[in-house]
Structure 1
Amino acid sequence: MPDSELMPIGVFARRSGLTPSALRFYADSALLVPAAVDPVTGYRYYSAAQVAPATALRRLREMAMPLPGVEAVLAAGSDEASRLVDEHVAGVLREAAAARRAAAVVKASLAGVPALPIAVLKGPVLADAVEQVLTATVRERGMPVLAGVHVEVTREAVSLTATDRYRLSTRTLVPAEPPLRTWAGTVDGDELRTAAAAIRRGATVRMEAMPHGIRLRVAHLEDQYCRLLIEEEFPDHRQMLAALGEVTTRATVSKDLLLRALEEHPGDPIGLHVTDCSLSLLPTCDGDVEHRLPATGRGQALRIWFELTTLYPAVSTAIGPDVMLDLRGDAQPVTIRSADRGDLTTLAMPVKPDHST
């Protein structure tokens, strides 16, 4: 290769994002050997073709991948390299989760405050409730509380609530034993999701309050810790629920039929036409016909539109074979819940008919 096509180490460092000292280290490690070395001066030169692997090397190291793993990725084909990267990221996430759990234990011991028992719940029931309300969480910059689940314990019940501002899901659970005290806090949703997989295997789960989170205890299994999100307060969902207007239209429809219709509907947003004897999905273009589903209802006929990403999870997490929709006009939240069980309730915000994503 002509010398004119080679770059000195300083130029190559700027193009690859690696420092000259890092390039020397990777050369000595045989991970990125220079294209040429001046036999007199010892100066190292690199080719333009080495920029891509050097950049990949830098990014892999930024992911905290050890040198043997980097070497394996760079030497592998595309599919195998992708698998190795995914495997490494999964390991990092497992280690991070374990570190967070260990940190919760350490912080609790440093605080010197004993854990306070607050509620006893059935493990499978709590796990189902967690997974149902988690569909209403969202990761949003500047609002970390929206990625959490608000846990509220009263003398009669335990409530789990989550919201992404377009949906609000709340599930009320009857404790296996009367709660010992009242308590409220917003728990990290990802950690609660991880804990749900473990607590599902326990007949009962003991929930305990700690200074920086909650501990979920299942007999013969490892304790699960979930940290509290304290950066900001959870939205006042009770005030929002209390401020809802009167229901003007109510429809009860098969959950499976409605989900299938939403899956097959070509449009977004999705328009619903509710009458006293049917619920229809409105056509998306001229010439199409309404997709009518059998339903029972009462009140005023109404047309209302929703984003698929808002309406579908609200319906899919409902309990039981039939869902009930309580509507308050085309610009007010609709309440979606089981037709015969009210312990899981979801509110979904509609959009304007001409709304486009």
Structure 2
Amino acid sequence: MESEMRGIGEMARCSGLSVSALRFYDGAGVLVPSWVDPVNGYRWYAPGQLDEARLLARLRAAGMPLADIRLVLAGWSSADTELVRRLLRTHLRRLERDLSDARTELSTVRALLDHRENPMASAHTATVRFTVPAPALAAALDAVRFAASTDPELPMLGGVLLDVEGASLHAVATDRYRMAVAHARGAADGAPRAQVIVPSPVADAMRALLDGGGSVQLTVEGGQVALDTGAHQAAGQCLDHDFPDYRRLVRLPAGTRAVVDVRAFRAAVENGPFRTAEGAEPGGGAPDLSVLRVAGDGTVAVCAEEDDDQDGVVAVNRAFLLDALDALAMGAAGARDRLVLEFGAPNAPMAIRRTDTEDAFSILMPVRLDA
């Protein structure tokens, strides 16, 4: 029997649905396996169920409710094409109505934004000179540069935010799916606070001048930023946009902390099991996901795709996780053997921090497995 059927892993690969989604649809009675092994509970699907699974994947991608999908599948199997067509038309009208409503609400929000006073406006135009050790600024840029967005539709995220306030400089970058924050201490002269978004190419040019020691001066004035090392300079125009309030975004719920050996954990993520997400992220295509669980002894395990127990796991973009590990473990401050992972609820962001300081960390948005 098994030779003529597909196991749940093969069914997932062939249909475009994840293993967890197949389990969910089984429990919901939408796509029930043809046979379940009474010994180990493993699910087996008949050859004819592959077309139904692919249809289900497309309907879910179109946002159709499960109640309607159940009827579509019933009509599909009984060749009741009129029922199927009627359900598709109804769902399309619903989507068009929802889109119209969403456009109305977003237009209202845009109008509110146009009339809202920006309390940070003075910080965007302030003049400040910030003196900072070159290794400290280099380490801050190394810790965040990887997270800057390359999406042309979001130009305000296409660089590194430099937020100078008193003796502190925060460097921040985000592409919505991840955020990196780093801190450097120095001495400021001028306005009490200044914020500028340094375009990624300018940030890279500055970083190239920071391999030496000593102190450097960062000057923000008139919408421009300049770095002076004494021997060389790099300067450029800042992005004329507002950056999201990163201080609000980094307020994470309390969770479980686990210390990992960087080399061993990175190898487990890079070489261990992963699954492919059903949704797309920047750059197109579906990302590979690493599914992580904190064990009772405080170790972090990379879960296999066939793992039935999904309680207490967090799925994140595997490439983003590797980038964050590399950025925090290496850099101008030297290599680090250990990092701290912080897990909250399954739908809360996961944080990656250095063990020697709270001033540099990355946040990764989780990816739902039951989509």
TM bucket normalised to smaller? 0.5 to 0.7
Correspondence for 2:245: 236
Correspondence for 1:212: 223
Q: Deviations over 1:232-251 (max 9, x none)?
A: 31111112223x32x13221
- After TM superposition, give the deviation of residue 327 of structure 1 in Å: 1.5
- After TM superposition, give the deviation of residue 117 of structure 1 in Å: 4.6
Q: For this pair of structures, how many residues does the alignment match? A: 225
Is 2:337 the partner of 1:321?
Answer: yes
Is 2:264 the partner of 1:257?
Answer: yes
Q: Deviations over 1:57-79 (max 9, x none)?
A: xxxxxxxxxxxxxxxxxxxxxxx
Q: Is the 8 A contact 2:273 2:303 kept in 1?
A: no
Q: Is the 8 A contact 1:137 1:163 kept in 2?
A: yes
Supply the distance in 2 between the matched residues of 1:156 and 1:254 (Cα, whole angstroms): 33
More displaced, 312-321 or 270-279? 312-321
Q: Deviations over 1:137-189 (max 9, x none)?
A: 121122112111111111131110000101110101011x3554321111111
Correspondence for 2:291: 271
Correspondence for 1:66: none
Structure 1 gap segments, 5+ residues each: 1-114, 288-300
Q: Which has the higher contact order (CA 8 A, sep 6+)?
A: 2
When the two structures are superposed, what TM-score results if normalisation uses the length of structure 2?
0.56
Computed over aligned residues only, the root mean square deviation of the Cα atoms, in angstroms, reads 2.4
Supply the distance in 2 between the matched residues of 1:157 and 1:144 (Cα, whole angstroms): 26
Q: Is the 8 A contact 1:145 1:229 kept in 2?
A: yes
Correspondence for 1:349: 365
When the two structures are superposed, what TM-score results if normalisation uses the length of structure 1?
0.59
For 1:198, the aligned partner's letter is: L
Supply the distance in 1 between the matched residues of 2:169 and 2:363 (Cα, whole angstroms): 19
Correspondence for 2:156: 145
- After TM superposition, give the deviation of residue 214 of structure 1 in Å: 0.6
For 1:315, the aligned partner's letter is: L
Q: Deviations over 1:238-272 (max 9, x none)?
A: 12223x32x13221111111111111124231111
- After TM superposition, give the deviation of residue 285 of structure 1 in Å: 3.8
Among the aligned pairs, what percent are the same residue?
A: 23
Correspondence for 1:161: 172
For 2:171, the aligned partner's letter is: L
The structure with the largest alpha-carbon Rg is: 1
Q: Is the 8 A contact 1:136 1:167 kept in 2?
A: yes
Matches within 5 A, 1:90-109: none
Correspondence for 1:338: 354
SS of alignment partner, residue 233 of structure 1: coil
Is 2:143 the partner of 1:127?
Answer: no
For 1:261, the aligned partner's letter is: A
Supply the distance in 1 between the matched residues of 2:250 and 2:273 (Cα, whole angstroms): 32
Supply the distance in 1 between the matched residues of 2:213 and 2:237 (Cα, whole angstroms): 21
Correspondence for 1:248: 255
